[in-house]
Amino acid sequence: MSAPAPRPVSDGAALRAALRDTGVRPWPVIRATLAGTMALGSAVGLAAVAAWLIARAAQMPSPADVALAATTVRFFGISRGLFRYLERLASHDTALRGVVTLRERAYARLAGASADRVLGLRRGDIVARMGADLDAVGDAVVRAIIPLGVAVTVSAISVGIVTAILPLAGLVLAACILLAGIVPAVLTARSARIAARVGTSARAEVSAAALSAMDGAVEHRVWGTSAAAAEELRTADREAERAEELAARPTAWAAGAQALFSGLALVGLVALGVLAVRSGDVDGPWAAVVALLPLAAFEAVGAVPTAVMQLYRSAAAARRLAELETPADAAAIRPEEASPASSTPTLVLDGLSAAWPGMAPTRPVSATVPPGGVLAVVGRSGIGKTTLLTTLAGALPPVGGAVRLDGDPVGPADTGAVVAMTAEDAHVFGTTVLENLRVARGDVSTDEAWEALELVGLAGWVRGLPDGLDTELGSGGRTVSGGERRRLLLARAALAPAPVHLIDEPAEHLDESGAAALRAMVARMRAEGRSVVIVTHDLGLLDVADTVVSLDD
């Protein structure tokens, strides 16, 4: 049995779903759009009044007329900057709040996603999806939706002003604005979509290659593979550059088309203004307004190609986020909703066989672990011990047989709440010793932390650190030895509240005193009524187990 395949989802549907997940309401977007409209509307008003003032001044008007127009010009000049500032505040506040909500929901879904979907991704790809892709969805609000709304409202205002002065000129301006907004989008839609998809994937590949090269820098140096890792990064970077070139093409076409239609509008309205003055339909100052207004009106339309391109980028990013979700995710309990069992359940392995998709399954095994019991799983390297442990944790569906807790199948809802797992490569975070222990339980006190460190024989080492429990550790445990890192992970396991705990290779990098500390920790967990499953190739640890199963033939 394998995890369900991902649901095929279009870019547009993925973006709409992601925007719903941001929790952004219509009113904040409308408020930001109104502020942006006032900012660019002030530019339109400034152009119109300035054109009227210049033409009217040539007619030697009264000083009162000139003073009023000059004051209006100053008003529009000041209000443009003011409303632009208010628009930035409103739009970025809306987008940032939405991204925070989206990130929270994305992490919850990532935690509940099937293991064969998430664990098959490289760390850099996950970082890109949880970082740049989430930000790209937020950019859809600031750089696409709001600019498009502003373009529509400002264009309508501009056309309304010109139409009120000279109806035919209003029709010409409306036609040119529509062409400037629609034609570039239509002409470049396919290439923009391809460029957005390629660009999003290429940037993620650069992130994955860079993180892989940095994480494995020491190993690359030892094995002489640094050149290969650097070449992989250069290849990813070249693909990213190619994606940028693909994105530049539709942008260039759009800019050229907009310049064309803007020029046509300017020439057309100047001609109509001159003809209207000669026929006596309007006087000179109003004809100047008709002629010069397009220069400001097209400023709003100029943001349309960039906004459309951003929509494609955001949609591609939203699709990559949706790929992490499986049909089972919707029913999965969020981590904050899960709660540990009030008592330790009986763990039953009934002919259990485990495997990653496309891999050979492990030999079926059966065992029962009562509350307070200890099961040891042994076997040669590569036989599938860790895979079996992942299945026991409920993160990977069984290939055959079943794993049950008090008769109920283990599922994602039990992972971390009822069944916790300490992996062999469990992460040590770049924060303090205390905060690394609080990964197991967020409310661990300093007294509890010292007690756990004493239990695993690490208290003396921590007391010798510069700031004790508050000493910062390097990310990934690079600033501690292998034995210290392993004992720190064992202390974290001792503090975990889950009644069933799975430990992968607990004796790795431990000396005799470390093995004694491991036995003390297991004895402590047994005394608390918690069950333990140990995966190990160290047969010297089997004395701590009540039952031993082997995956070897």
DSSP classification of residue 467: T
pLDDT at 469 over 80: yes
| Residue 533 banded pLDDT, cuts 50, 70, 90 | very high
Per-residue pLDDT tens for 174-208?
998 888 888 777 766 766 677 777 777 777 777 77
Domain with CATH 3.40.50.300 in the chain: 338-550
The reported pLDDT for the residue numbered 204 is: 74
**Residue 477 tokens, joined:** 């445990």
pLDDT the model gives residue 329: 43
Compute the distance between CA of residue 285 and CA of residue 155 in angstroms, rounded to an integer.
Answer: 22
Task: Name every residue whose Cβ is closer than 8 Å to that of residue 30 and which is 6 or more positions away in sequence.
Answer: 149
The residue to which tokens 């040539």 are assigned? 58
Average pLDDT estimate for 129-141: 84
In sequence order, the 6+-apart residues with CB closer than 8 A to the CB of 522 are 374, 532, 534, 544
103-107, 110-114, 237-241 — which is least confidently predicted? Answer: 110-114
Confidence grade of residue 311 (pLDDT, cut at 50, 70, 90): confident
* Residue 35, pLDDT score: 92
Give the chain's mean pLDDT: 82
Distance of CA 216 to the CA centre of its chain: 24
**CATH T-level fold of 338-550:** Rossmann fold (3.40.50)
pLDDT in tens, 325-369: 654 444 444 444 444 445 788 999 999 998 887 788 888 999 999
pTM: 0.66
Backbone dihedral angles phi then psi of residue 366, each to the nearest 5 degrees: -130, 140
What pLDDT score was predicted for residue 499?
92
Percentage of the residues of the chain whose pLDDT score is greater than 90:
13
pLDDT tens digits for range 369-403: 999 999 999 888 888 888 898 889 887 889 999 99
pLDDT band at residue 477 using 50, 70 and 90 as cut-offs = low
Per-residue pLDDT band for 115 (boundaries 50, 70, 90) equals low
User: Where are the CATH 1.20.1560.10 domain residues in the chain?
Assistant: 11-331
Domain spanning 11-331: CATH superfamily: ABC transporter type 1, transmembrane domain (1.20.1560.10)
**Sole residue written with tokens 């409920």:** 394
Per the DSSP assignment, residues forming a β-bridge with 365 are 352
